[in-house]
Structure 1
Amino acid sequence: MPVTVKTFTSTHDAAAALSSDRGARYLGGGTLVMRALNEGDISISTIVRASDHTMTRIDATGSRITLGAGVTFARILAERDLGFLHAPARSIGGPAVRNMGTVGGNLFAPVPYGDFTVAMLALDAVVSVQGGLGGREIALDEFLQSRDRQSGALVLAISFAKPGSADAFRYRKIARITPKGGAVITLAAHLPVNGGRIVGARVALGSMAPTPIRARAAERALEGRSLDASTINAAATAAAEGTTPGDNALASAWYRREIVGVHLRRLLSGQE
C-alpha cells in the first residue's frame, strides 16, 4: 500500500493535516513510525512532517524548562543545563537511536520503552499540543491516560519546573541489556524538600502499567515526611499498589511487582 509523505513549514498546517486524516502519522525521529511501517502497519497511509524550528527548540534558561517535541536525546546529552536529564536520555537505546529518537515520540512509546517519559512524569510535566480545535496544554499524566486517542493531535513541546537541587530528581532503569535494552521497570522520583520535609513528592513508574504511571501510594508515604529509613521503607512497601504490569519476554508481571519496591528503596536511598 503506497504511503504519502507531506512536509509542512508550520506546525499549524502539520496539525491540520494530522487531524483531517485518520491514516496520518507524524514522523519525528522515525524510531516508532518507521518501525511500524517496516512491520507492515497498513493503518498508516500518510506521513506528516514539519520543518518548523520551534519543534527543536530548548529553553533551559529560567526556572521552567521547555523541550520542543523534536528535540533528540543526543541534544539533551549535549546540554550542560540539562545534566539532571542525562541519565534518562542516556538510557534510551544506543547512539543511533539517541541521535534520532525525540522527546515527543517517546510519549507514544509502548512498554517496555518510553523511559524518558517516566522522567517527565515525575517532573509533573505539561504537554503542549496542536489539534483541529487549536492549541492546548494538558498535564502529562492526563495525556498518557488518553494517549491512544491523541493520534490526530501534534505534540509541540513538553515543559516542567527545573528541580531546585541536584538530589531532588532521581532516575533508575532496570534492563537486562544495559543501557539500551527494553526496561524491566523504570523509576523516577522528584522530591522537593522544604524545612527538612518532602513537599510535592512525585514518583513515576514505567513498565508497571500499559503507560507510565504515578506511584500515588508511594507519594503519599513520602509527602510531608523527612527522607529517612522509615519513610523510604513505607514508600517501597507501597510501590506496587495500583499497578497493572504485564508479562513479556523481559519479565513477568509477578516479577515486576516483586522488584519495584526493592528498586524504589535503592533509588530513594541513593544506592547504585
Structure 2
Amino acid sequence: MALALQIFSTVKDANAALKSAGTRYLGGGTLVVRAANEGDISVTGLVRSTEPSLSAIDVAGGKVRVGASVTMAAVARHPELGILAKAARAVGGPAVRNMATVGGNLFAPTPYGDFAVALLALDATVTTQDGETQIDTFLDRRDASRAIVTSVGFTLPAQDGFRFLKVSRVKPKGVSVLSIAVLVERAADGTIASARIALGCMADRPMRARAAEMALVGATLTKEGIAPALAAANEGTSPATDPIASAWYRNEVLPVHLGRLLLS
C-alpha cells in the first residue's frame, strides 16, 4: 500500500493537513509505519513537520522543555538529562532509539511507552497548538487527540528523588513486563512529603498508583515504612495478558519490584 507523505516547515500547516481523513503524524515512525506495514488500512497518508523547535532541548533554572521530535538517543546522551537516561535507554535497541521520539512515546500502547511512564511520574506537561495540558489528562484523552504534540516540560527533581525501573524477560531491549517510575519528595525529618508513582503495562496506557502514593506520605523509606504502599500497589490496575506476561503475573510482581525500586 502506497502512503503519501507531506512535509511542512511549520507545525501550524502540519496540523491543518492532519484534518484530512486517514492522515497520521509521522514522528520517528516506529509506531505508525509499523502499523501501516502490518496492514492498518486506516492509514492513507503521513504528515510531518520540520519546525526546529520540535527538535530542541532547553534546560534553564531547573525547568526542562523537550521538543516532541527529540529522539530517545538524544535524551539519553544529553548532559543535563541524566535522570531520564535510564528511561530513554529502556526504549528498544540503538536503532529504535535513534528514531523513536518523545512525542511518539506518549501514544505508544501497552506494553510500550516506557518513557511516557517516566514523564507521568515527573508530572510533566504536554504542549500542543491547543495549549498546555497536564500529562495525566493528556494520557486519558490521547486517543481522541488530533493536535500535534510540540513539546513536554517538567521540573528537574532532586538528585535522589526520581527512580525508574523496566522489568523485561530479554535484556537489554526486551518488551516490558512492567515499568515503574517514582518521584518522592522528603520532609526535613526524612519522611516522605509527597510521592508520584507511575506504572507501565498495568493498564492500556501509563497510569498512577494513587493508593500507593497516598500510603507513602508520612512514611519512611524503610521495609516497614513502605509496606502499606506495596499492599496498595495493585489498586485500580487492569494489566493485559499478552505473549510477554499474564495479567496475574504482572499483578504478582508489581509489589516486589516497586519495593526494590523504593529501597534502592
Q: TM-score normalised by the shorter chain: which range applies?
A: over 0.9
Displacement, 1:229?
Answer: 2.3
Residue aligning to 1:3 = 3
Displacement, 1:37?
Answer: 1.1
Contact 2:219–2:225 (CA<8 Å) still a contact in 1?
Answer: yes
Contact 2:193–2:218 (CA<8 Å) still a contact in 1?
Answer: yes
Question: Which of 226, 244, 249 matches 1:232?
Answer: 226
Which residues of 2 match residues 83-94 of structure 1 at below 5 A?
A: 83-94=82-93
Displacement, 1:197?
Answer: 2.5
Displacement, 1:181?
Answer: 1.1
Residue aligning to 1:16 = 16
Contact 1:92–1:179 (CA<8 Å) still a contact in 2?
Answer: no
Contact 2:166–2:179 (CA<8 Å) still a contact in 1?
Answer: yes
Paired letter, 1:105: G
Displacement, 1:26?
Answer: 0.6
Paired letter, 2:117: V
Residue aligning to 1:185 = 178
Displacement, 1:2?
Answer: 3.6
Q: CA RMSD in A?
A: 1.1
CA distance in 2: counterparts of 1:214 and 1:231, whole angstroms: 20
Displacement, 1:35?
Answer: 0.4
Which residues of 2 match residues 40-79 of structure 1 at below 5 A?
A: 40-79=39-78
What do the CA deviations read for 1:141-161 (whole angstroms, capped 9, x no partner)? 1111111111x1100001111
1:266 matches 2:248: no
Q: How many residues align?
A: 263
CA distance in 2: counterparts of 1:42 and 1:116, whole angstroms: 28
| Aligned partner of residue 220 in structure 1, secondary structure | helix
Residue aligning to 1:216 = 210
Paired letter, 2:92: G
Residue aligning to 1:137 = 132
Displacement, 1:45?
Answer: 1.2
CA distance in 2: counterparts of 1:68 and 1:174, whole angstroms: 27
Displacement, 1:257?
Answer: 0.6
Q: What stretches of structure 2 of length at least 5 have no aligned partner?
A: none
Paired letter, 1:117: A
Contact 2:219–2:226 (CA<8 Å) still a contact in 1?
Answer: no
| Aligned partner of residue 16 in structure 1, secondary structure | helix
Contact 2:220–2:226 (CA<8 Å) still a contact in 1?
Answer: no
CA distance in 1: counterparts of 2:194 and 2:21, whole angstroms: 39
Contact 2:125–2:135 (CA<8 Å) still a contact in 1?
Answer: yes
- Matched-pair identity in %: 50
CA distance in 2: counterparts of 1:194 and 1:59, whole angstroms: 29
Paired letter, 1:71: V
CA distance in 1: counterparts of 2:225 and 2:34, whole angstroms: 43
Q: What stretches of structure 1 of length at least 5 have no aligned partner?
A: none
Residue aligning to 1:207 = 201
CA distance in 2: counterparts of 1:22 and 1:137, whole angstroms: 25
Residue aligning to 1:194 = 187
Contact 1:124–1:140 (CA<8 Å) still a contact in 2?
Answer: yes
Residue aligning to 2:142 = 147
What do the CA deviations read for 1:180-227 (whole angstroms, capped 9, x no partner)? 111001000000112123223100000000000000011001123332
Displacement, 1:228?
Answer: 2.5
Displacement, 1:259?
Answer: 0.6
CA distance in 1: counterparts of 2:24 and 2:83, whole angstroms: 31
TM-score by length of 1: 0.94
Contact 2:54–2:68 (CA<8 Å) still a contact in 1?
Answer: yes
Displacement, 1:64?
Answer: 1.3
CA distance in 1: counterparts of 2:36 and 2:113, whole angstroms: 19
Residue aligning to 2:160 = 167
